[in-house]
Amino acid sequence: MENLLKSKRFVVRQSLIGKGQNIEVTFKNGNQVTYSHDKAFEIMKSSLESMNCWAKYKSYTSSGNIPKSLRETDAVISVVLPTPEVVEA
């Protein structure tokens, strides 16, 4: 997949808007989410514009999970949950 940026946190940045960037995030809990940056921005646009981090840094990040407002939308391309390890006795 071209235009794939790998990250350890969910991110929306003004500098990535309009570039067709897909982002693959691997969180500490092992969940892996791939999302469309542009679609995520469009869905979050009104809430981002009211956040201090967006006003100051033109960026929003989350290290624990993707925002709830995106979880059931077409911005999410794929979700991979970690498989539990099987311990044999």
Q: Is 86 helix (H, G, I), strand (E, B) or coil?
A: coil
Supply the Cα-derived Rg of the chain in whole angstroms: 14
Residue 86 has pLDDT above 90, yes or no: no
| The pLDDT value given to residue 88 | 73
Confidence label for 74 from pLDDT (cuts 50, 70 and 90): very high
| pLDDT tens column, 25-71 | 999 999 999 999 999 999 999 999 999 999 999 999 999 999 999 99
| The pLDDT value given to residue 89 | 66
Q: Which of the two residues, 11 and 85, has the higher pLDDT score?
A: 11
Q: Determine contact, residues 26/79, Cβ cutoff 8 Å.
A: no
DSSP calls for 13-75: EGGGTTS--EEEEE-TTS-EEEEEHHHHHHHHHHHHTT-HHHHHHSEEEESS---GGGTTSTT
| The pLDDT value given to residue 12 | 97
